[in-house]
Amino acid sequence: MTRHALSIDSRIHELRGQRVMLSSDLAELYGVAPGALVQAVKRNRQRFPADFMFQVTRDELAILKSQFVISSWGGARRATPYAFTESGVAMLASVLRSRKAVSVNVEIIRAFVRLRRAAVTYAELARRLDALERRYDERFRVVFEALRGLMQPDPPVRKVIGFTAADAEVRRGRAARRRAAAGR
């Protein structure tokens, strides 16, 4: 992975449940002024539906800035940047039409693909981990139940207090044996 690719990966953010790149970052990568990029997009607005591009709210921008120690968006700005999804970034190549824009777009699309593959890998890993946990939970449940059983003290043997009919039978039997032994 090139240094340029690492730079692109770090500029992909999660907003509104989508991976996006900000217009200010894209303008820097393409080597154009942010205003020129936004102007080109506005001239071709029909190519950028809501699922390709949206404007970041001030709250979202504050959250993004708080995630980074240094603000990469400069000082005061009148408008918030635009966020471009992977489809929107792909559409930018047709709007900007420079060789640099095309080569940068290829790298950006590759970065999105790398992130998607990583997400699939993590999802598969999480699924396997859950399956292992369930399987071992079942196996260890039996062990834990056995250990709990061993840890519980035996129930105390309770001596019956009082006289029962069985005791009377035992006593009569003993008394009869004593009499027989004594010869009576």
Closest CA to 29 of 79, 72, 77, 63: 72
The C-alpha atoms of residue 115 and residue 136 are separated, in whole angstroms, by: 31
Q: What's residue 80's pLDDT?
A: 86
Output DSSP code: residue 99: H
Phi, psi of 4 (to 5 degrees): -65, -40
60-71 tens-digit pLDDT: 888 888 776 444
The C-alpha atoms of residue 57 and residue 49 are separated, in whole angstroms, by: 17
SS3 84: strand
77-110 tens-digit pLDDT: 577 899 999 888 888 877 877 777 777 777 888 8
Q: What average pLDDT does range 25-43 have in this prediction? A: 88
Q: What's residue 69's pLDDT?
A: 46
Torsion of CA 84, 90, 91, 96, to 10 degrees: 100
Q: What's residue 6's pLDDT?
A: 52
127: confidence class by pLDDT, cuts 50, 70, 90: confident
- For the chain, domain boundaries: 3-115
Q: What's residue 84's pLDDT?
A: 92
Q: What's residue 74's pLDDT?
A: 52
Closest CA to 81 of 104, 50, 60, 67: 60
Structure tokens at 14: 């999660």
